[in-house]
């Protein structure tokens, strides 16, 4: 590859992304921000495109743009509405600017584990949430799991007071801002692709993310360690334009819908394993992983519980009760 000119490399790269598109096929561009090979979302998007390109050959073709090569999550939502992009899977935290109901997913220590999240998403509440943005032009197609979030920082985090005064990167979510303010820390909204640089240059001291994101983007390399807090969920909603979706020929929409739900089922069943593998890779690479005693963890729960109160009205008591009940 080193002997190729830059121009040739660019042509090869774009050829690769659109290799399977032929004239007459409906082009489906899917943009996301993670890696493709060892990440729950990246693997799912790759499997989705593989199946679409094989099973819908001649009718539709899917090009996947990973690693923020095309858009960050905010830009992707805009691009879907303007018709430049057909699909993306932003994390659920990114939707609060469209509907405040999505704040449910960011409440700290609400969901006990991914299984509880799965039950909630696959209930009537999940269907309501998927359709809640149609009035704004966005249709939710499927919830994809990543996993539970862990916290990392430039110093050991064992008690809530350890976070005091530190600057934490948060996703674009006011709930996550409130969460770190509750700890006496300074939250800063920042896009995913800027986190590594922010940690490295000490613009921020810490961040919260899943094992697959913390390993995949090497955040652990520029942190003192990662504490296994499992304090919240980081999941995704695969979204498209409601107009575009409705405008598809019926057979195309149905086949795409079927492939989407099969890929969702297959990959959601693997997300916990993928995150465990990423956790192990952090340890194998010499990263520090800290676990909390039951007492320490309870201190975090107690410290962060008041955050719920601030958002109960936005979310609605029905939805909150349904989420709590999913922990059964």
Nearer to ligand LMR (CB atom), residue 71 or residue 192? 192
CA gap 211, 268 in Å, rounded: 16
Question: Least distance (Å) from ligand LMR to the CB of residue 277?
Answer: 16
CA gap 226, 274 in Å, rounded: 17
Question: Binding string to ligand LMR for residues 149 to 188, with x set by CB under 6 A, is what?
Answer: ----------------------x-----------------
Question: Binding string to ligand LMR for residues 241 to 280, with x set by CB under 6 A, is what?
Answer: ----------------------------------------
213 touches ligand LMR (CB under 6 A): yes
**Token pair recorded at residue 141:** 């197609």
Nearer to ligand LMR (CB atom), residue 71 or residue 120? 71
The site that binds ligand LMR (CB under 6 A) totals a number of residues, namely 9
- What is the distance between the terminal CA atoms of the chain, rounded to a whole angstrom? 54
Nearer to ligand LMR (CB atom), residue 196 or residue 312? 196
Phi, psi angles (nearest 5°) of residue 28: -115, 105
Question: Least distance (Å) from ligand LMR to the CB of residue 5?
Answer: 33
Say if CB 138 and CB 129 are below 8 A apart: no
Nearer to ligand LMR (CB atom), residue 86 or residue 210? 210
Among all residues, whose Cβ is closest to ligand LMR?
91
Q: Which of 33, 48, 157, 237 binds ligand LMR (CB under 6 A)?
A: 33
Question: Least distance (Å) from ligand LMR to the CB of residue 146?
Answer: 6
Chain centroid offset of residue 229 CA = 18
Q: Which of 182, 209, 223, 326 binds ligand LMR (CB under 6 A)?
A: 209
Residue 47 burial (CB count, 10 A)? 16
- Contact residues for 277 (Cβ-Cβ < 8 A; gap 6+): 38
CA dihedral 220, 292, 102, 115 (to 10 degrees): 100
Question: Least distance (Å) from ligand LMR to the CB of residue 2?
Answer: 31
CA gap 101, 174 in Å, rounded: 12
Residue 139, beta-bridge partner list? 240
Of 33-41, 116-124, 130-138, 249-257, the segment contacting ligand LMR by CB under 6 A is 33-41
CA dihedral 226, 230, 233, 236 (to 10 degrees): 50
Nearer to ligand LMR (CB atom), residue 60 or residue 238? 238
Beta strands 206-209 and 150-153: pairing type? Answer: antiparallel
Q: Which of 34, 223, 255, 264 binds ligand LMR (CB under 6 A)?
A: 34
Nearer to ligand LMR (CB atom), residue 34 or residue 230? 34
Nearer to ligand LMR (CB atom), residue 171 or residue 326? 171
CA gap 231, 209 in Å, rounded: 10
CA gap 41, 65 in Å, rounded: 12
CA gap 182, 251 in Å, rounded: 50
- Contact residues for 294 (Cβ-Cβ < 8 A; gap 6+): none
Interacting residues toward ligand LMR by CB under 6 A: 33-34, 41, 91, 146, 171, 192, 209, 213
């Amino acid at each position: 590859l080193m002997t190729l000119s830059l121009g040739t490399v660019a042509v090869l790269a774009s050829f690769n992304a659109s290799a399977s598109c032929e004239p007459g096929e409906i082009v489906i561009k899917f943009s996301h921000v993670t890696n493709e090979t060892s990440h729950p979302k990246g693997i799912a998007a790759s499997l989705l495109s593989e199946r679409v390109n094989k099973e819908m050959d001649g009718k539709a073709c899917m090009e996947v743009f990973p690693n923020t090569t095309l858009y960050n999550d905010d830009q992707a939502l805009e691009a879907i509405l303007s018709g430049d992009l057909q699909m993306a899977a932003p994390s659920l935290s990114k939707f609060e600017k469209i509907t405040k109901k999505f704040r449910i997913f960011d409440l700290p220590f609400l969901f006990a584990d991914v299984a509880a999240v799965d039950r909630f998403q696959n209930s009537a509440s999940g269907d309501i949430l998927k359709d809640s943005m149609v009035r704004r032009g966005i249709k939710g197609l499927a919830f994809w799991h990543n996993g539970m979030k862990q916290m990392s920082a430039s110093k050991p985090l064992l008690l809530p007071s350890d976070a005091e005064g530190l600057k934490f990167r948060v996703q674009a979510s006011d709930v996550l801002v409130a969460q770190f303010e509750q700890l006496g820390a300074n939250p800063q909204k920042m896009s995913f692709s800027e986190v590594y640089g922010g940690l490295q240059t000490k613009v921020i001291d810490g961040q919260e993310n899943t094992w697959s994101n913390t390993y995949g983007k090497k955040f652990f390399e520029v942190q003192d360690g990662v504490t296994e807090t499992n304090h919240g969920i980081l999941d995704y909603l695969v979204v498209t334009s409601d107009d575009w979706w409705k405008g598809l020929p019926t057979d195309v929409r149905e086949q795409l819908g079927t492939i989407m739900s099969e890929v969702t089922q297959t990959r959601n069943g693997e997300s916990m394993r993928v995150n465990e593998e990423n956790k192990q890779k952090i340890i194998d690479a010499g990263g520090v992983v800290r676990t909390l005693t039951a007492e320490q963890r309870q201190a975090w729960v107690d410290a962060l519980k008041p955050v719920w109160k601030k958002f109960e009205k936005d979310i609605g008591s029905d939805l909150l009760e349904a989420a709590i009940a999913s922990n059964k």
